[in-house]
Amino acid sequence: MLLIAGLGNPGATYAKTRHNIGFMAVDEIARRWGFGPFRSKFASFVCEGAIATPTGAVRALILKPQTFYNESGRAVSEALKFFKIEPENLVVFYDEIDLAPGRFRMKAGGGAAGNNGVRSITASVGPYFRRARLGTGHPGQKELVHGHVLSEFHKADQQWVGPLIEAVAEAAPLLAAGEDEKYQTEVMRLAPADKADPRKAARDGA
């Protein structure tokens, strides 16, 4: 069984913010693959279903922690323990400010790179889980990061947000099959995005 967790903050206030793109991604996966309705469990909203792959359907649980972003590890660890899922079968979708808007990268293991949600999960289950990083861009200055991630996407951002969310769901059979490199490639094929982040370039003096 695969556990797919999206990171975000609960409540309508945060629903459209950059920090909640992880919620948006797993919501679309659930919709695209006909998962059951969300219910409350593990201090989260969860739903179950299956993702079709060439070798058969893979059962999956989608998890949206309601603990607030920085405490995501508590909810994730509860679900892993209940279903006896190894961290290697955990995929976490979250916003990545060090990737240009619309870029997508898969990574297994490693550090938190300043992401408090990932840090919380690492503290609870260890670092050996799969990370699906959704680029939201850097505001240009370190002191602006907090406000940036908690701000809503601009209207112009919808040019890449929608296609990226649809792509991660459409390509999900590769994710379910454990083909992370192919999954990353297919998402970027379906939703191409520039590698350069103009705000980061301005910050670096480029």
Residue range 52-70, pLDDT digits in tens: 999 999 999 999 999 999 9
Q: How far apart are CA 13 and CA 161, in angstroms?
A: 19
In sequence order, the β-bridge partners of residue 132 are: 93, 106
Q: What is the pLDDT of residue 199?
A: 59
Sketch out the chain's domains with CATH numbers. 2-203 (3.40.50.1470)
Q: How far apart are CA 127 and CA 135, in angstroms?
A: 20
Q: How far apart are CA 24 and CA 8, in angstroms?
A: 9
For the chain, what is the total number of helices (H) and then of strands (E)? 8, 7
Q: What is the pLDDT of residue 202?
A: 53
Looking up tokens 């607030």 gives 68
For residue 63, which phi and psi values (nearest 5 degrees)?
-130, 130
Q: What is the pLDDT of residue 206?
A: 42
Tell me which residues are annotated as active site.
19
pLDDT tens for 15-41 read 999 999 999 999 999 999 999 999 999
pLDDT along the chain (206 residues), means of 10: 98 97 98 98 98 96 97 98 97 97 96 94 97 95 94 95 98 98 98 80 51
Q: Which amino acid is at 51?
A: I
